[in-house]
A and B are shown apart, each in its own frame.
Chain A
């Protein structure tokens, strides 16, 4: 069974601070996806990383896939209140129809 551990589980920071969220596993994934879920809404896909060592940037968000494709991180620079939400990582197993989801990191950015 593949598992994805996300840390931290909760994070409360002031506007303007930087933060990093981690997603770790002992399993290798074909790709890894990051979603953001706002209260009362469904998860929205932010980015997919595919290649080991890959780094993708989405404005102030930087996503990295580990060299061995077992872990990933999300770094937010100068957090804003609009970044508040639940961040989920999900791993794609080779040939599987199912994604393995982490339990999420709940981020609160205080103005």
Chain B
């Protein structure tokens, strides 16, 4: 069972370049999330999708866009990369919000460096 998968695992971009980070889950989860993790800052939510067809901003959405392509896939796009976006990016998914506890399951991460 693959769980949450992310591609690519590593990426180096030059300032101003664009790229899309891909995420897919095979757990039939309704909700999906994008986080960034920086030293001393913890995990910060960029965007999330509560269900297919909806997306909402998190704590740090500026400079990013997302697409919930279908129930399985949730992509994160950097239109014009900046050095401040150098980080490790994690995708996560959760099941039915009507049920508690509400747990998130994470992918292995994408390490992005912007020079």
Residues on A lying within 8 angstroms of B by beta carbon are 30-31, 33, 35, 40-45, 48, 50, 88, 90, 92, 95, 97-99, 101-104
Contacts and interface: CB of A to CB of B under 8 A. Distances in A.
Given A41-B109, A97-B97, A103 B42 contact: yes
Interface in B64-115: 90, 92, 94, 97, 100-109
B103 A45 contact: yes
A81 B105 CA distance: 24
A33 B40 CA distance: 20
Contact of A42 (B31, B45, B109): B109
B101 A48 contact: yes
Contacts, number: 57
Contact of A97 (B42, B48, B100): B48
29 contacts: A30-B100, A30-B101, A31-B100, A31-B101, A33-B104, A35-B106, A42-B4, A42-B108, A42-B109, A43-B43, A43-B106, A44-B106, A45-B103, A45-B104, A45-B105, A90-B104, A92-B102, A95-B97, A97-B31, A97-B56, A97-B94, A98-B45, A98-B48, A99-B102, A99-B104, A101-B42, A101-B43, A103-B41, A104-B42
Contacts of B56: 97
A30 B102 CA distance: 9
A52 to B, nearest CB: 14
Please name the 3 residue pairs, one residue from A and one from B, whose CB atoms are nearest each other, closest first: A31-B101, A42-B106, A103-B42
